Amino acid sequence: MPSRAPALRRAFADARRVVVKVGSSSLTSSAGGAIDMLAVSRLVDLLARRRLDGHQVVLVSSGAIAAGIGPLGLKKRPRDLATQQAAASVGQGALIAAYQHLFGIYGLTTGQVLLTADDVTRRAHYTNAQRTLEKLLELGIVPIVNENDTVATHEIRFGDNDRLAALVADLAGADGLVLLTDVDALYDGPPSQEGTQPIPFVGSPEDLAGVLIGGTGSHVGSGGMATKVEAAGIAGAAGIPTVLTSLPQARGALVGDEVGTLFAPVDAARASRKRWIAFATTPRGRLLLDEGAVEAVTVRRKSLLPAGITAVQGRFTERDPVDVCAPDGRVVARGLVNYSSSDLPRLLGRSTKDLARELGGHYEREVIHRDDLAVL
């Protein structure tokens, strides 16, 4: 076991604050996808004891859509957005009522926090969500977070809760993130394939080379392993370690036992605002760069100027997030752009001095200032 692992495991045991995400597949029975109350009460027992031992716990719980399947008389998880939203509307109430009741047995109060992608992608909303979570934790409440499925449309939807959980771990300043799913670890290939082996430790993205990361294996989950690995990367960039495992192993994960897959965080986490730009925003367009400009923004960490941009794709307004791409289309950075997509094309390839002389001082500004640019 690599030398960093024991200290990272201890970080979970000693965590002041931990975010635990549970997927639909862990909360539902295989038959019909209805909520499995035994699984819910096992999870609550574990988290309540952790809370009563003095650790702050934020629960990110999926399962609203699954919990709506039974009451709506559906045979399986709906595929269309409107029925998913109806199921979530019915199911979220039932799910929260169950949590409220079960945590109540331990004398603990829960608070429902429903977030849309907008609540984390807009900087002002992000800080609002941060403030609310902080207050709830300060008051000793167990916040229970889910995506606000009933109002989220396709374009703005997370869909799965893995990325949301990682962003919540970051905004809550958690010491660890635990992702609970229906497999006990990340395997070197989809566990449905024979002979695949669990991976105990992921120290860096290179450790994932050759690992086959597939989609969901259940009828109720969404995203599969890909979104969990992505979530571990988002938490890791904020300096937060992640353990991925199953509900039966959750206690072990929380007390620092060697269960599941441990994902190490990066050593030097980048600044919060850059993390927000890199992971919490939804890009509205793409800027293609020439090789010189790629080198300037990624290696020399310069601001992006119009001279190095070769093409503009998508429709965006000033201060929207956009992806910054190499000539082959690879995304190398994300940033908040200072020009709209209608204004930008006529500036391409031009020097800022020329533009200022011709169009006025307003056009001397960078396309993306280095403070608004997160290199990926």
Ligand X SMILES: Nc1ncnc2c1ncn2[C@@H]1O[C@H](COP(=O)(O)OP(=O)(O)O)[C@@H](O)[C@H]1O
Ligand Y SMILES: N[C@@H](CCC(=O)OP(=O)(O)O)C(=O)O
Q: Which is nearer to ligand Y, 7 or 72 (CB)?
A: 72
The number of residues that bind ligand X (CB under 6 A) is 27
Q: Count Cβ atoms within 10 A of the Cβ of residue 349 and give its class: 0-12 exposed, 13-18 middle, 19 or more buried.
A: exposed
Residues 137-176 touching ligand X, rule: CB under 6 A, are: 160
- The reply to whether 253 sits near ligand X by the rule CB under 6 A is no
Helix or strand (DSSP H, E) at 180: strand 176-181
Residues placed in the known binding site for ATP: 21, 181-182, 222-228
Residues 204-233 touching ligand X, rule: CB under 6 A, are: 211-214, 216-218, 221-225
Residue 245, binding choice from ligand X, ligand Y, none, Cβ under 5 to 8 Å by partner class: none
Residues 367/339, Cβ–Cβ less than 8 Å: yes
Smallest distance, Å, CB 274 to ligand Y? Answer: 27
Give, to the nearest 10 degrees, the angle between helix 81-104 and helix 37-52.
50
The number of residues that bind ligand Y (CB under 6 A) is 18
Beta bridge partners of 289: 309
Smallest distance, Å, CB 196 to ligand X? Answer: 7
Residues 25-64 touching ligand X, rule: CB under 6 A, are: 25-26, 62
Residue of minimal CB distance from ligand X? 23
Closest CA to 106 of 44, 181, 60, 184: 44
Beta bridge partners of 176: 18
- The reply to whether 376 sits near ligand X by the rule CB under 6 A is no
Please state, in angstroms and rounded to a whole number, the distance separating the CA atoms of residues 287 and 344. 10
Closest CA to 201 of 191, 192, 193, 211: 211
- The reply to whether 182 sits near ligand Y by the rule CB under 6 A is no
Residue 63, binding choice from ligand X, ligand Y, none, Cβ under 5 to 8 Å by partner class: ligand Y
- The reply to whether 65 sits near ligand Y by the rule CB under 6 A is yes
Closest CA to 274 of 333, 230, 329: 333
Binding site for ligand X (CB under 6 A): 23-26, 62, 160, 181-183, 186-187, 189-192, 211-214, 216-218, 221-225
